[in-house]
Amino acid sequence: MPILPWTVPNTPPPHAEVHVFASRFETRTLWGALRFFFKTPGVWWQVSRAPGAYGATLKAEPLRRTFWTLSAWESPQALGAFARSGPHAPTARRLARQMRDAKFARWTATSDDLPVDWSEVARRLT
């Protein structure tokens, strides 16, 4: 299962409050999983340059048609600006029809807790 490494576009201040966002997507078909997988580089490029992004990673299980994302942000507004712009916005709209299930979780943590462990992500998304 490929996991993109935790990438830190902007180093957060020590002990700062961060806004964590996690998602789990399951596509309807293997074709949908391939489309998700092939759209990932454009969105990854965007997040690696996003203002207010403190870190991001993605775990892909393409044969299970499941993808997990984890990111940390300076503020909910920074996350929202990212989601509504660049490659992410049109990619999310186009892939929405491919989704069988999608789950999302948001919480606050401190920058000292980054990166969040995948077991914590799974717990929050169940």
- Tens-digit pLDDT profile for residues 51-89: 999 999 999 999 999 999 999 999 999 999 999 999 999
Q: Which amino acid is at 3?
A: I
The CATH number, out of the four listed (3.30.70.100, 2.40.30.20, 2.40.30.130, 1.20.5.510), of the domain defined by the range 3-125 = 3.30.70.100
Percentages helix, strand, coil for the chain (3-state, rounded to 5) are 40, 35, 25
Q: Which amino acid is at 69?
A: T
How far apart are the two ends of the chain, measured CA to CA in Å?
20
Instruction: Tell whether pTM > 0.85.
Output: yes
pLDDT of residue 2: 85
- 15-41 pLDDT tens trace: 999 999 999 999 999 999 999 989 999
pLDDT over threshold 80, residue 1: no
